Structure 1
Amino acid sequence: MGNVFSISLSCDTTISRCWDCVAGQVIYACRLQENLADLNTALDELKERRNDVVWKVNIAVQQNLRSLNEVRGWLSRAETMINEVDALLIDGSEEIKNLCLGGSCSKNCKSTLNFSKIVTKRLRDVKDLKENGAFEVVAMEAPAAPVVERPSDSAVGLESMFNKVWSAFEQKHVGIIGLYGVGGVGKTRLLTEINNKIGDSSGGFDMVIWVVVSKGFYIGKVQDDIAKGIGLFSGIWGAKAPEEKAIDIFRIIREKKFVLLLDDIWERVDLSKVGIPVPTQENGSKLIFTTRSTEVCGQMRAHMKIQVQCLPEEEAWKLFEEHVGKDVFDSHPNIRGLAQEVANECGGLPLALITIGRAMACKNTPEEWKYTIEVLKKSANFVFPNMGDEVYPLLKFSYDSLPNDMVRSCLLYCSLFPEDYEIDKEWLIDFWIGEGFLDEHDTISEARNQGHHIIGSLIHACLLEEGVGDLYIKMHDVIRDMSLWIACTCEAEKWKFLVQAGYHLTRMPEGGRWKDIRRMSLMKNEIENLIEAPNCPNLQTLFLNDNQQLKVIHNDFFQFMRGLKVLSFSGSNRIKALPVGIAKLVSLEFLDLSYTNIRKLPIQLKALRKLKCLNLSYIYCHITIPRGLMSGFSKLRILRTRDSYLFDEAVKTNNEHLLEELQCLNHLNALSLSVRSAFALDRYLNAERLHNYTEEIGLEILKDSNQLNILSLANIKSLHTLAVTECESLVEVKMEWAGEGRMIKAQSHIQTSLIATPHCFQSLHKVFISQCSKLRDLTWLILAPNLRDVLVSECDKMEEIINKITLRQVAELVGTLTPFVTLKSLTLRYLPELQRIYRNALPFSCIKEIRVLNCPKLRRLPLNSNSANGNKISIYGEKRWWEKLEWEDESTRNAFLPCFIAI
């Protein structure tokens, strides 16, 4: 038998599989036309979306934005898909021709089946691709390079300041640096140089962001500028709330090592609200900002505050020379010298140097330069109109930004003084009080506090400068010109200044110029007489200070000045008498006769019933005040008689009534006086009502006293200045007391009730001791915990300032007080026996300067490495003295070595 091969198939299964195959082909064939139509529609929709995205991208490109990678990728895929589907649709028309039996069958079933599957897949792909192209954002600003170099003007004159800032920038522990200074001093230029230097350095920063903040900023604007710098800015960005923006910025920046440069900030910028991590040593990031206010530096918690100051003379000249141009200097041999005078008038302010330098770039004759110098000394604005257009508006922005009209008035008032004038703070505040600028206060002390607050705010705004020590202020020349520009032009109706201070005038300006003037300053001239009676009904202030040739004041000079409120003859020392016509100044509230030689006040002054302030200080002749005159000044609030011969031996005769009359003045609130005898001191100490408002006392030429119990002055609670001078007989200043609440016996033999405490002289700020040749120490100074200024001069036997043995004797009174905690200035001059200031090192937490001259035995200062608490301190002295100085240790020496300035 042969092999038998047998296969058995189920008929039902075979029929079923065949039917499925035929049915599938029929379904694909039936749907092919429908799918092709859907694919064509989907393709049109994809093309529409592609066109929309391309349109958005083109608009973004025009805005210097960069399309996103995902958008560019989608457009590429869409273009490929469109081309493929276009070809597929063309092939589809051929496949349709192969269909028969009403489209339910194909002449080439296999081909039609495969093609139908491809169409179905492409239909899904086109729909998916179209959905993926629904972009909310198609482009963003391209992330900037780590540092974008910024265009910069010449950096001439900035070299030393730049090096100082860059040195601070490189210190790891310094994360925040504040650059402050007056407008136009070059802060932005300096910041630009820092920005560009970072780009050249290898600091490893991931990004450097520059933002101009300016006054009246809002968080969103700062965030937008930062977003542009880090590539976050886009269409949807603008719709986000500041809180959302802060989160986005923080998300990008927190992992980066960044430098943020904020230019021109006027108030604190809250970094957390912006989204900026605080720069620290740990994250290595940096923040540098510029401002016009030191207060902003504090608010921003700057690790280092650097004042951008006006240029010194040599650097200022280089900057000026560059903008004038070499051709001008070569045009005439005399121009260079004249140009240096013009440059000096700019006061080192870069903006003024540049603006005026450009204005002079076409002046080729000496006559033009001479004319410029002549008029520039009066006011730069009248020579250079662009100063008003370019420089002064920039500076005026600081003026406009002052808190109120009161502070603005106080600033403009300072322009009445000559250029480079050292303005005494206390004197200035008295003027402000006399003008009525300050608020109404119950006491002059409160008004003075407000005055000092205003001075501080003007210094912080860099509109005033600190003068010598802590007693004076100055106004920068360009700031002064700006103030006069405001007072004479911008606000002429309100102010109407006429200032010809320091003009070397020998006669008064023509009377016709006075008519509309409200405030006039003729200080520091050589006017010889006041004869003409000018018609000036609107005049409120007249400064005739320091006219040292002035002798004659005509009786009718004041007859048309009935609105005058402030009159000053201070420093016009040839004036010996006032005309009775001064009684016509019925509105006068402030009269300053200090540093004159007035021998007698006319009784007609009783007509000045509105007088609030009378200054008779530093009149070095015996001045007579008629009986009943002082008591007639019923509204008098301030009386100054320091260093005047009012309360001396003569008090027994022609002025014996004066103390009694002063006690009758109900509004008197501030008194300064000098006493020149034990008798005068007794009389004053018995006038207890005057103790309530005595601010300054001078004890001078006490020939009949060899001891002074300083506690006899302890009840004078408002005493802030004490001077002891030319007391050649004074051997000892005692602190005698008999315990709390008991009576003490003063050297003057009068009994005074006193509660002695370690803070007897709580308000005492200034002490001046000079020409007391027998004094050996000043240990009593420890009772004045708030001392700011101490000067000791020409005391031949002074051995110590604070004596250890004397301290032990008054230990119960002194307690644990540390001397000089608040001291700012200490001056020691011509003290041949001085060996020690204090036995231990002192904190000197507020000290700014120590001056030592001709103190050969002073071998050690009370300093250690912790003294001054990191504050900048200047130590002035002779080089040979400094070289012989002994130090507690090497670290102390190294800490104070940079502080020395040779004199």
Structure 2
Amino acid sequence: MGNFCSVSLSIDNLIPRCFDCTAAQVNSFRRLDDWLANLRTALEELKQLRNDVKTEVDVAERQPMMKRLEQVQGWLLQVESMETEVNKLIANGSQEIDKNCYNRYKLGKKVAKKIKDVAALKSKGDFEVVAKRLPSDIVDIRPSEPTVGTESNFSKIWGHLQEEHVGIIGIYGLGGVGKTTLMTQINNKFASPTNDFDVVIWVTVSSTVDMDKVQDDIGKTIGLHNETWNNKSLDEKAIQIYGVLSKKKFVLLLDDIWESLNLSQVGIPIPNEQNKCKVAFTTRSEEVCGKMDAQKKVKVECLPWEKAWDLFQKKIGDETLKSDPAIPGLAELVAKECGGLPLALITVGRAMAYKQTPQAWKHAIKVLKNYAVRFPGMETKVFCPLHLSYDSLPSDTVKSCFVYCSLYPEDSLILIEDLINKWIGEGFLNEWNDNEDGAENQGYDNIDTLLQACLLEKISSDKVKMHDVIREMALWIGREYEKQTDKFLVRAGGRETKAPEVSKWKEVKRMSLMVNKIERLIGTPICPQLTTLLLNENSLKMISSGFFQYMHALKVLDLSMNRSLVDLPLEIGELTSLEYLNISCTKISRLPVQLQNLVNLKILDMDYTKCDQTSIQVISGLSSLQVLKMIDSVFINNEALVEKLDALKFLYYLSMTMGNAFVFQGLKKCHKLQSCIRYLRLQFFSRCITFNISSLQFLKCLNYLNVSNWDDCEDWVIDWTVEGKEIETSNNPLDSHIKNPPSFHSLRTVIIMGCRRLKNVKWLLYAPNLVYLEIMDCSKMEEVISRDEWMEVAKKGKISNPFAKLESLYIQYLPQLTSIYHSPLPFHCLKYLNVRECPGLKKLPLNSDSAREHRTVIAGSKDWFDKLEWHDEATQNAFLPGSQILQGGLSVQIA
């Protein structure tokens, strides 16, 4: 067997040599050159046909919605592959042409076969049609520019779109803040291959809803817009739209909604968990989100400084930034004037892109600070679009209230209560005839309207702020747009040391000189139209005689925070139109009797003025007074003073300080004052061992309670009695019993200071609407609310979740304190927790669910913070990024 195999192999090796000697093979050798030439020719013809087909394909695909056929694309790829193979074969042929007969023979066979393959491929390239029209794309990609700082909001919105139970999403925020940019990103994201929706529809709605246009845009996207479409009624179009969309999984993106849009009337099936459809819309109004039944709302805020500066640098460019060493610093000042508003940053950035001298940048800063409307592009590209938000306000009253906010300095925090009182004084709010606090309620409603329109920003429960660019727009409206250039004089928050010259007051209607350094008001300005004069937070020492002589129309006068002002000029009594007067935080110690001539005065704020008790006699003569604020002003320590205040017929708001337990008890006889007291400070109550906190509940409107310096008080008790059972009353006037559990629903702020024997404040369980709590310098307090106290109170009656609305909690100088609350609390609203000098407080009532979905800042010393015992690791991880430590007396962010 082995020998046979060996012989066979030898014979096989001899066969090619035998082929070398045949006449047929000799002939094929001679033809190899011709075959290679023929192959080159065949390939060239195939390439020419390929080029003709590609030209037809390119022409077809230039037309909308046309795409090459798959068989055409496949043939083109085959030609490309064939070209590669043929070129390689030809190259090999050139190398093998002079080798032995057998190699030439094998090459000839390959060339002959490849000629046939090329011919066959060429025959398949005869296409009658090379492209076909496609159905509408699922989504039309919209043009967009690179963005800065949108990542967080984009992730939030996209996340909501993935939630099955969320069908409608509202995206709201200030005009120019980037809502449409975000919506464009969302639209384009749906073009990804992972998208499982049938169609994505984009509709720009704009300020005036055109139902025809809305339906037309939808109809075009879903293929309904034909020759007969325009002849159909709105109802007929709605039926057709509904007929198509009810069979599809769709996304509807509505951009720039100003009022609620009835989806059913348009023909849109309402999104739900069954159809899995989505509707997302952008609006400037939070109110629209509610009216559109948005299940999720996302507010788009202005950019933080780092992102704003990044965007601004991109717009001005490196060349300009590097053109002069001074420009980067000046550019930062310019960027800060834009307040993080993308529209303003882009507009100003583009205008400054080629300004390469420091002088040009300094000029820009001056213009933006003093009269921004004159900056290139600001009026047309920023103020005019923002003005639409002003136009959409529901009434002239709200518009006037909005413009009035621009009287406050840039970046100032505006006390809502004080702002509303000024509106009342100006006469914007006029519902006094309905009920005594009707104007106040209307004011809060106007605040809500401006907040929902994103024309004001809410800072806390009692403060708002106006964005710098919005303020400039409001000033523009007040000065120019409403043709009141000479009637609206605002020099607030500057460095003015003198009031404007008397000659400039003549045509002014509203003047704001607040937050300056003016020391003297001299002369006798003649200003018959002046209704508001704001001089608060200056350095006033003297107001000359005759200064107010010709201000007969003046309604609002604010002199507060002038800590060197000791007297009011006697002719203030000639301001008979005056309705609002604020002299708080001054050194005025006595009200002149001439003040009684102010028969229209509705609001008098004299908090922290330290006036003597004779001022009560002057106040009692103010027959129209409705709001009286006198915290730490006139010290109420006898019943006669209380009776004079109780006699004020129209009074509905009173803040006061009491220093006598029996005078406080006497309030029970003053039914008028019981319903008026909003802010009460009780201090220096001596020889009071226990205090029945339940006795406060007869003050139904009490919002603010300040208790300070009760050195003797050990306990604030709550009395529990059975309904209808006769109870003996204690000899202590502050220890009277009640029949029902107490209720402190109106309380928003509680401050407890210097009650050194007080051990707990368990009564706060009955203050469910508490927003601000401060406990300070109570050296015996061990627990704010203990578990035993909670269980005792819980047995007596139903209590709500404590601190459910608390935003700020200050715990300071409580050396014995070991606990705030016995278990973790949700703290849905908590923004700030400040702990100082409480070494025994080792654990906070927090877990990983506390303060979910918003940032809570914990402030305290580093030594205290490092020793905290957390509920679990998840809690520590949740709060560590938002905590703060105190270093050198300053609160700094922990990285």
TM-score by length of 2: 0.78
2:740 corresponds to 1:749: no
Q: Choose which of 393, 409, 426 in structure 2 pairs with 1:402.
A: 393
Code of the residue aligned with 2:566 in structure 1: it is: K
Partner deviation per Cα, 1:641-671 (whole Å, 9 max, x = no partner): 1132422xxx46xxx7533322222111211
Q: What's the offset of the Cα at 1:750?
A: 6.8
3-state DSSP class of the match of 1:195? helix
Q: Are residues 337 and 810 of structure 1, via their aligned partners in 2, closer, same or farther at CA, if it must alter by over 3 Å?
A: closer
Kept in 1: contact 2:344–2:382 (CA 8 A): yes
| Inter-partner Cα distance in structure 1 for 2:810 and 2:277 | 46
Matched, 1:391 2:382: yes
| 2:524 counterpart residue number | 533
Whole-angstrom CA distance in 1 between matches of 2:175 and 2:698: 47
Equivalent position of 2:707 in the other structure = 724
| Equivalent of residue 874 in structure 1, options 856, 867, 870 | 856
Q: Distance in 2 between matches of 1:593 and 1:505?
A: 21
State the SS of the aligned residue for 2:678. Answer: strand
Q: Could you list the per-position Cα deviations for residues 741-776 of structure 1 after superposition, in whole angstroms to 9, with x for gaps in the alignment?
A: 667757863797x75433532322322223323221
Partner residue of 2:755 out of 772, 781, 785: 772
5+ residue gaps in structure 1?
1-63, 68-140
Answer yes or no: is 1:641 the counterpart of 2:610.
no
- Asked whether 1:190 is paired with 2:182, we answer yes
| TM-aligned CA deviation for residue 609 of structure 1 | 1.4
Q: Give, in whole Å, the separation in 1 of the partners of 2:616 and 2:713.
A: 34
Matched, 1:612 2:596: no
TM-score, normalising length: structure 1: 0.77
CA distance in 2, matches of 1:418, 1:593: 19
1:632 is paired with a residue whose SS is: coil
Which structure 2 residues correspond to residues 817-828 of structure 1 after superposition, within 5 A?
Answer: 817-820=799-802, 822-828=804-810
| Residue identity opposite 1:516 in structure 2 | E
Q: Which moved more, 1:563-572 or 1:351-360?
A: 351-360
1:529 to partner: Cα distance: 0.3
Query: 1:125 matched to which residue of 2?
Result: none
* Preserved contact between residue 768 and residue 804 of structure 2 (Cα < 8 Å): yes
Give a deviation string over 1:413-454, Cα, whole Å, max 9, x none.
111111111111122222222222223235454433332222
Q: Give the Å deviation of 1:634.
A: 0.7
Aligned 8 A contact 1:599 1:624 in 2: no
Query: Paired residue for 2:514?
Result: 523
* Aligned AA (1:795): C
Aligned-pair identity (%): 45
Q: Cα distance, 1:691 vs. partner? A: 1.5
**What letter is aligned with 2:370?**
K
From 835, 851, 858, give the equivalent of 1:853: 835
Secondary structure of the residue that 2:146 maps to in structure 1? coil
Matched, 1:364 2:364: no
Instruction: Map 1:455-854; keep pairs closer than 5 Å.
Output: 455-467=447-459, 469-493=460-484, 496-547=487-538, 549-619=539-609, 621-626=610-615, 628-647=617-636, 651=637, 657-678=640-661, 680-682=663-665, 684-736=667-719, 740=723, 745=729, 749=733, 756-806=739-789, 814-820=796-802, 822-830=804-812, 831-840=814-823, 842=825, 844=827, 847-854=829-836
Letter in 1 for 2:416: K
Counterpart CA distance in 1 for 2:357 and 2:731 is 73
Which residues of 2 match residues 160-559 of structure 1 at below 5 A? 160-171=152-163, 173-200=165-192, 202-384=194-376, 386-441=377-432, 442-467=434-459, 469-493=460-484, 496-547=487-538, 549-559=539-549
What do residues 666-719 of structure 1 show as CA deviations (whole Å, max 9, x unaligned)?
111211101133354355555443223111101123344343222232222221
Q: Secondary structure at the match of 1:642?
A: strand
Aligned with 2:370: secondary structure? coil
CA contact (8 A) 1:786 1:820 kept: no
2: CA distance, partners of 1:66 / 1:887: 61
1:230 is displaced (CA, Å) by 1.6
Contact 1:712 1:746 in 2 (8 A): no
SS, match of residue 633 in structure 2: coil
Counterpart residue identity of residue 607, structure 1: N
Contact 2:596 2:618 in 1 (8 A): yes
Moved more, 351-360 or 326-335: 326-335
Aligned residue identity for 1:572: N
Alignment CA distance shift 1:746-1:789 (3 Å): farther
- Contact conserved, 2:496 with 2:517, CA < 8 A, in 1? yes
User: Contact 2:719 / 2:738 at 8 angstroms: preserved in 1?
Assistant: no
Displacement, 1:155? 1.2
Q: Equivalent residue of 2:635, what SS?
A: coil
Offset of 1:352 from its aligned partner? 0.8
| d(CA) in 2 for partners of 1:833, 1:727 | 18
Separation in structure 2 between the aligned mates of residue 597 and residue 704 of structure 1, nearest angstrom = 32
Q: Secondary structure at the match of 1:723?
A: strand
**Counterpart amino acid of residue 622 in structure 2:** F
Q: Which amino acid aligns with 2:407?
A: L
CA contact (8 A) 2:212 2:234 kept: yes
**How far did residue 887 of structure 1 move?**
6.3
User: For residues 4-27 of structure 1, what are the alpha-carbon distances to aligned partners after superposition, in whole Å with 9 as ceiling and x for unaligned?
Assistant: xxxxxxxxxxxxxxxxxxxxxxxx
Distance 1:493 1:819 in 2: 52
Partner deviation per Cα, 1:279-301 (whole Å, 9 max, x = no partner):
44554443321111222223333
* 3-state SS, counterpart of residue 200 of structure 2: strand
Task: Indicate if the aligned counterparts of 1:249 and 1:276 stay in contact, CA closer than 8 A.
Answer: yes
Moved more, 513-522 or 218-227: 218-227
Q: 1:881 to 1:210 in 2, by over 3 A?
A: farther
RMSD, aligned α-carbons: 3.1
Contact 1:725 1:769 in 2 (8 A): yes
Counterparts in 2 of 1:411 and 1:249: CA distance versus 1, 3 Å = same
What's the secondary structure of 2:497's corresponding residue? Answer: coil
Moved more, 302-311 or 552-561: 302-311
Letter in 2 for 1:735: I
Any unmatched runs of 5+ in structure 2? 1-62, 67-132, 886-892
C-alpha change, 1:494 and 1:524, in structure 2 (3 Å) is closer
The Cα shift of 1:331 comes to: 3.0
Residues paired across the two proteins, number: 754
- For residues 837-874 of structure 1, what are the alpha-carbon distances to aligned partners after superposition, in whole Å with 9 as ceiling and x for unaligned? 33455555x52435142345445554567766x66462
Partner Cα distance (1:901, 1:213) in 2: 45
Distance, in Å, in 1 between the alignment partners of 2:753 and 2:822 is 23
The amino acid across from 1:604 in the alignment is: Q
Contact in 1 for aligned 2:757/2:778 (Cα 8 Å): yes
CA 1:371–1:142 in structure 2 vs 1: closer, same or farther (change >3 Å)? same
**Residue 504 (structure 1) shift:** 0.8
The residue type paired with residue 325 of structure 1 is G
Distance 2:842 2:616 in 1: 55
C-alpha offsets along residues 501-533 of structure 1, whole Å, 9 cap, x if unaligned? 011100001122211111111000000101121
Residue pair 1:523, 1:545 contacting (<8 A) in 2 also: yes
Which residue pairs with 1:108 in the alignment?
none
8 A Cα contact 1:180 1:290, kept in partner = yes
- Cα 1:518–1:450 change in 2 (3 A) is same
Task: Give me the whole-angstrom Cα distance separating, in 1, the residues matched to 2:525 and 2:193.
Answer: 67
Aligned amino acid, residue 426 of structure 2 = E
How far 1:66 moved relative to its partner? 9.4
Structure 1 residues 839 and 426 mapped into 2: Cα distance closer, same or farther (>3 Å)? same
1:543 positional shift: 0.4
Q: Is the 8 A contact 1:143 1:230 kept in 2?
A: no
